[in-house]
């Protein structure tokens, strides 16, 4: 693909556009030329047919005039009628030549008509007495001229019909040719569309996927874009950005670990010092002094726990970008997680149920178990003794949905928007359990979003209901 499309996206876009325009333009020009050519042929055929019909009718009329003038001459012996015969004969010859020229026919009937008309004219050119003696022969010649006129008229009609048939045949031929041209243009257009899809549309989608991947902090896979040169260069820049983000995250993690380590050393010394004071190593403490050392000791322990939580959260957030995907049965993950926390929920006399079909998706099984484990431990903490926790898996529209519902106090609407923030703890903490660290739900969100999914709080019924929607990355 790289060798097929070495130029830029703009170059190939303009090339494909101009090629399409050229094909459509050539087809349109050819269609217009065909229509113009057929129009000229149609007008020429119509004009020729009108001329032939007119001249054939003129030939018949002049032949009748010739016969009528010959009869009047033989009856009245008036040379005017003989002159009228000669004039009609000349006009008939002119009409005959016009018919012959426009029809393109070279049949003997035309020569026979001329010979017969000359024979009849020769009879009339003699004296009146001689013409009367040969009037039977003359009338026979004139009658034969009428027969020849009928034959010529039939030939004219046949010629017009033949021309019409030829025109219709040419029309069908041109229409078939145009149809094949349109089919060829359509085939070329399909080839261009397929070339655009494989050469440009797929790389553009890969660019969009790469940007989406970077936006979700999935930095493990390198960005490789095939296609035109500028798209490949864009892929190189995106991969450079991926490496920079990866390096930035690594540097941030190193700095965080370094700072945490630097804090732990004086913090340990402070904790030991407070412990020595509390034990009375330097002398007995008064009640108010002991109260102060207790406050110091509690806050030192809290600070140490916060540092450890911060490191744990950063470690998990870092691991979320390095998923090891494989086929995972979601229901099996739910059942294993419930079994793993059996002692905790049995100690509270809780009932934990798992429902739903076996749904196999492509995901990181270890990270998914951590997600379900955090939701389940959160539900156990907030559930009343003897309550019920329900874990459900289902599939809808190609996605896999996991729900975790408890019968605890629920989450106030004012806190719902912040519960996934790191180190945020709501006000309704259970009195029977130790206070949480505020990173469980934020870890859930990090791991779910790393899988391209969504976690949300569903406001339905008493207690809290969390819903996770995971796409199947295998499709």
Per-residue DSSP letters for 363-408? E-HHHHHHHHHHHHHHHHHHSPTT-EEEEEEEEETTEEEEEEE--S
Mean model confidence pLDDT for the chain: 79
d(CA 344, CA 381): 9
Is residue 240 within 8 A of residue 232, CB to CB? The reply is no
Report the CATH number of the 326-471 domain: 3.30.565.10
What are the tens digits of pLDDT across the range 237-269? 888 888 887 777 667 667 666 666 666 677 777
Residue in the structure block whose two tokens are 């426009």? 102
Phi, psi of 294 (to 5 degrees): -65, -40
Q: What's the mean pLDDT in 6-14?
A: 63
Q: What's the mean pLDDT in 201-217?
A: 77
82 versus 283: the higher-pLDDT residue is 82
Is residue 206 within 8 A of residue 9, CB to CB? The reply is no
124 versus 252: the higher-pLDDT residue is 124
d(CA 138, CA 69): 12
Helices 287-319 and 229-278 pack at an angle, to 10 degrees, of 160
pLDDT at 244: 83
Q: What's the mean pLDDT in 50-60?
A: 81
pLDDT at 416: 77
Residue 3 has pLDDT above 50, yes or no: no
CA 275, 279, 283, 288 torsion-angle sign: positive
Outline where DSSP puts E strands in 208-355: 326-329, 351-355
Q: What is the pTM of this model?
A: 0.49
9-193 fold: 1.20.120
Residue 405, CB half-sphere, CA atoms under 13 Å: how many? 14
Confidence of residue 391 (pLDDT cuts 50, 70, 90): very high
Could you tell me the CA-to-CA distances from 185 to 24, 27, 34, 36, 179 in Å, in that order? 8, 8, 17, 21, 10
Q: Which helix (H) or strand (E) holds 202?
A: helix 202-215
Residue in the structure block whose two tokens are 């600070």? 303
434's torsion region: left (phi>0), alpha (psi -120 to 50) or beta? beta
Q: Which two tokens stand for residue 68?
A: 């009528």
Residue 5 has pLDDT above 60, yes or no: no
Residue 17 has pLDDT above 60, yes or no: yes
pLDDT at 2: 41
Q: What's the mean pLDDT in 171-178?
A: 83
Residue in the structure block whose two tokens are 């008309």? 117
Per DSSP, the residues of 47-68 read HHHHHHHHHHHHHHHHHHHHHH
Q: Which helix (H) or strand (E) holds 457?
A: strand 454-458
pLDDT at 338: 92
d(CA 408, CA 388): 9
- List the helix and strand counts (H, then E) for the chain: 13, 7
Q: What's the mean pLDDT in 269-275?
A: 74
Confidence of residue 1 (pLDDT cuts 50, 70, 90): very low
What are the tens digits of pLDDT across the range 69-99? 888 888 888 888 888 888 888 888 888 888 8
Which of 239-243, 410-414, 444-448 has the lowest average pLDDT?
410-414
Q: What is the three-class DSSP state of 441?
A: helix
d(CA 153, CA 174): 31
Q: Which residues have C-beta within 8 Å of that of residue 74, sequence separation ≥ 6?
A: 128, 131, 132, 135, 138
316 versus 351: the higher-pLDDT residue is 351
Percent of the chain scored above 70 by pLDDT? Answer: 84
Neighbours of 37 (CB within 10 A): 12
pLDDT at 335: 93
Q: What's the mean pLDDT in 352-370?
A: 89
Beta bridge partner(s), residue 468: 402, 455
Residue 351 has pLDDT above 80, yes or no: yes
Measured in whole angstroms, the distance separating CA 232 from the mean position of its chain's CA atoms is 22
Is residue 242 within 8 A of residue 219, CB to CB? The reply is yes
d(CA 340, CA 250): 32
pLDDT at 475: 47
Residue 370 has pLDDT above 60, yes or no: yes
d(CA 293, CA 176): 102
Q: What's the mean pLDDT in 101-127?
A: 79
Residue in the structure block whose two tokens are 């009329």? 61
Q: Which two tokens stand for residue 446?
A: 């990090």
Confidence of residue 444 (pLDDT cuts 50, 70, 90): confident
């Amino acid at each position: 693909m790289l060798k097929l499309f070495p130029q830029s996206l703009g170059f190939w876009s303009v090339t494909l556009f101009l090629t399409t325009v050229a094909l459509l333009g050539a087809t349109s020009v050819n269609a217009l030329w065909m229509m113009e050519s057929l129009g000229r042929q149609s007008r020429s055929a119509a004009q020729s047919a009108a001329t032939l019909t007119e001249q054939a009718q003129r030939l018949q009329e002049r032949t009748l005039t010739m016969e009528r003038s010959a009869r009047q001459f033989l009856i009245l012996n008036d040379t005017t009628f003989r002159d009228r015969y000669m004039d009609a004969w000349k006009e008939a010859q002119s009409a005959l030549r016009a018919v012959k020229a426009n029809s393109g026919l070279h049949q003997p009937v035309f020569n026979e008509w001329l010979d017969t008309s000359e024979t009849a004219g020769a009879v009339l050119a003699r004296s009146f007495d001689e013409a009367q003696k040969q009037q039977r022969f003359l009338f026979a010649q004139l009658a034969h001229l009428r027969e020849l006129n009928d034959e010529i008229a039939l030939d004219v009609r046949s010629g017009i019909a033949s021309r019409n048939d030829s025109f219709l045949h040419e029309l069908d031929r041109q229409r078939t040719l145009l149809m094949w041209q349109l089919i060829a243009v359509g085939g070329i257009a399909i080839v261009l569309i397929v070339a655009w899809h494989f050469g440009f549309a797929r790389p553009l989608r890969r660019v969009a996927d790469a940007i989406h991947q970077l936006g979700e902090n999935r930095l493990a896979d390198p960005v490789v874009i095939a296609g035109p040169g500028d798209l490949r260069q864009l892929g190189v820049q995106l991969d450079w950005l991926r490496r920079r983000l990866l390096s930035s995250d690594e540097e941030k993690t190193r700095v965080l670990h370094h700072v945490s380590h630097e804090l732990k050393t004086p913090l340990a010394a402070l904790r030991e010092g407070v412990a020595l004071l509390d034990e009375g190593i330097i002398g007995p403490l008064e009640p108010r002094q002991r109260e102060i050392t207790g406050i110091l000791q509690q806050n030192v322990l809290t600070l140490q726990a916060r540092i450890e939580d911060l490191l744990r959260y950063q470690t998990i957030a870092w691991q979320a970008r390095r998923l090891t995907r494989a086929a995972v049965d979601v229901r099996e993950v739910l059942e294993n997680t419930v079994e793993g926390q059996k002692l905790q929920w049995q100690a509270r006399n809780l009932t934990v149920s798992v429902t739903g079909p076996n749904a196999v998706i492509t995901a990181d099984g270890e990270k998914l178990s951590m997600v379900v484990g955090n939701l389940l431990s959160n539900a156990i903490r907030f559930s009343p003794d003897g309550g019920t926790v329900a874990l459900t898996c289902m599939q809808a529209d190609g996605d896999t949905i996991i729900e975790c519902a408890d019968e605890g106090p629920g989450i106030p609407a004012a806190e719902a928007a912040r519960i996934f923030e790191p180190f945020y703890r709501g006000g309704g903490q259970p009195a029977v359990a130790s206070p949480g660290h505020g990173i469980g739900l934020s870890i859930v969100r990090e791991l779910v979003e790393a899988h391209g999914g969504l976690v949300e709080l569903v406001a339905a019924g008493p207690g809290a209901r969390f819903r996770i929607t995971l796409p199947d990355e295998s499709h």
